[in-house]
Structure 1
Amino acid sequence: MTDVLLVEDDSLLREATQLSLERYGYQVRSASDGQAGLAEFRDRVPDVAVLDVMLPRLDGVSLVRRMRDESRLPVLMVSARTDPVDVILGLEAGADDYLTKPYDIPVLVARIRAALRRATAVDRNGPHEDETVLRFGDLSVDTASLAVRRAGRRLELTPTERRLLLEFAAEPGVVLSRITLLERVWDYACGGDTRVVDVHVLRLRAKIGHDRIRTVRGFGYKLAP
């Protein structure tokens, strides 16, 4: 069973969400504050974490930073606040996606499944006889083992960052719109908040080089060939 860590301080919402996720077949551990959530995480790293932004004792942004220091697990943040600053802070801290409250459980489940698919798709290691390495200057992307190196040094990317880079590497020089990237990387069937794309592109640039992914104003992004 997929192990979900749910950290939510609203007791009614926490219990309702846990019961609903369990009906979908997930094994759910829950915590009511950030410190308790961190303890649960360290006791056993879950397959995916769902964190509220506004948590007592340790807020959700600080919690995701702690988790990111120790694991690449998929993290989905939820918040009743729609202020762009809160959204961007959560994504920059290392969250893979976010949802605004109130949310429908089927939507939450769909986001969890998409995050798990991204993690599974990039969680492969070991040698491959037919590995293909794409090179862009000092940047190399191994599409078989999914190792990414810059000047020979292996980069530690999150599953979402790797999936995003693979999309760019598959079509170097081709402009990919934010909507296209939402559909391909985050599995959004009908659009979504493009700030998710913008923040992840910024994080990816910081790791592979700011000049690697170029902004095409009014259209989207492209990988410099």
Structure 2
Amino acid sequence: MPRVLLIDDEEPLRVSLTYALTREGYSVTTAADGPSALERARDSQPDVVILDLMLPGLDGMEVCRRLRAESDVPVVMLTARDRGQDKIDGLSLGADDYVTKPFDTPELLARVGAVLRRRVSARRLLEEDRLLVQRMEELLRQAPIPRITAREPQLRTPPDGRLHGGRVVVDLDSASVVVAGQPITCSAAEYALLRILLSYPNRVVTRTELIERTWGPGAPDGHTLLAVHIRCLREKIEEDPAHPRLVTTVPGIGFRYDLPS
């Protein structure tokens, strides 16, 4: 049974809305002022809050601000004021919807149901993301040790034993990486991918080649492994990982290490 916290200083409104919400299958807790509203919110852990803007003790804006500091519970604001700025302020503080008094009870019930459905959908997506991350971590743990070595003959080996890629230097003798003069820690797979890409600067290396050279033919979920490690590698070597300029994507083909001009 979804839990609703109804906060309004008008007793007749509290009574009528409590009756309507209860008939719709909600469990209702009420509060008549700002301080008690915050206390009830902590005690009852509601699934949605219906919050009047004009409250004694603490106004609705401050109550919403403090609720948002503690919880992501959906908030539907009620107010007799119809000023556009009030709506903007309320939504900016984190309110999910805004209803102006006087209102039709069925409309309010519909809005409460809508914010609850959005909350359920968001939680489901978060759970799906969590399961995906767990699966990716499991794949990473099960993945074979990368088979590229620092001296593999088909890869480029400069006379000084170092691959230079702008702010990135790979030392093949020590299998270490320095970025902008600072040593960084790379996983074996990240090092292998960087080693391959820097061996063919300004040339496209296909996804299949990167996967097979790093994890071997037939690696389970190789494209997922590659995407995860490329993202991690960019986090370590790019100045702006969201807009990579070194390890760039060639859509539909693979990746390329672009040497700075």
Q: Does 1:32 align with 2:36?
A: no
Q: For residues 83 and 2 of structure 1, do their structure 2 counterparts lie closer, same or farther at Cα, with a shift above 3 Å needed?
A: same
Q: For residues 36 and 151 of structure 1, do their structure 2 counterparts lie closer, same or farther at Cα, with a shift above 3 Å needed?
A: farther
Counterpart-to-counterpart distance in 2, 1:49 and 1:60 = 11
Counterpart-to-counterpart distance in 2, 1:20 and 1:43 = 23
Q: Tell me which amino acid in the other structure corresponds to 1:9.
A: D
Q: Which runs of at least 4 in structure 1 moved beyond 4 Å after TM superposition?
A: none
Q: Does 1:127 align with 2:125?
A: no
Decide whether the 8 Å contact of 2:29 with 2:44 is kept in 1. Answer: no
Match for residue 95 of structure 1?
Answer: 95
Distance apart, 1:98 and its partner CA? 0.5
Match for residue 63 of structure 1?
Answer: 63
Match for residue 104 of structure 1?
Answer: 104
Match for residue 6 of structure 1?
Answer: 6
Number of residue pairs aligned between Structure 1 and Structure 2: 136
Counterpart-to-counterpart distance in 2, 1:72 and 1:151 = 29
Larger Rg: 2
Matches within 5 A, 1:1-225: 1-123=1-123, 124-125=126-127, 126-128=130-132
Counterpart-to-counterpart distance in 1, 2:19 and 2:63 = 23
1 or 2 for the larger relative contact order (CA 8 Å, sep ≥6)?
A: 1
Match for residue 218 of structure 1?
Answer: none
The gaps in structure 1 that reach 5 residues or longer are 133-137, 139-149, 153-225
TM-score for the superposition, normalised by structure 2: 0.49
Decide whether the 8 Å contact of 2:4 with 2:49 is kept in 1. Answer: yes
Q: For residues 80 and 151 of structure 1, do their structure 2 counterparts lie closer, same or farther at Cα, with a shift above 3 Å needed?
A: farther
Q: For residues 85 and 151 of structure 1, do their structure 2 counterparts lie closer, same or farther at Cα, with a shift above 3 Å needed?
A: farther
Q: Tell me which amino acid in the other structure corresponds to 1:96.
A: D
Counterpart-to-counterpart distance in 2, 1:66 and 1:151 = 34
Counterpart-to-counterpart distance in 2, 1:90 and 1:4 = 19
Q: For residues 23 and 93 of structure 1, do their structure 2 counterparts lie closer, same or farther at Cα, with a shift above 3 Å needed?
A: same
The gaps in structure 2 that reach 5 residues or longer are 137-223, 225-230, 232-239, 243-261
Q: For residues 151 and 60 of structure 1, do their structure 2 counterparts lie closer, same or farther at Cα, with a shift above 3 Å needed?
A: farther
Match for residue 180 of structure 1?
Answer: none
User: What's the Cα RMSD here?
Assistant: 2.3
Counterpart-to-counterpart distance in 2, 1:43 and 1:13 = 22
Distance apart, 1:74 and its partner CA? 0.7
Q: Tell me which amino acid in the other structure corresponds to 1:127.
A: L
Percent of aligned positions with the same letter in both sequences? 45
Q: Tell me which amino acid in the other structure corresponds to 1:56.
A: P
Q: Tell me which amino acid in the other structure corresponds to 2:56.
A: P
Distance apart, 1:127 and its partner CA? 2.0
Q: For residues 127 and 61 of structure 1, do their structure 2 counterparts lie closer, same or farther at Cα, with a shift above 3 Å needed?
A: same
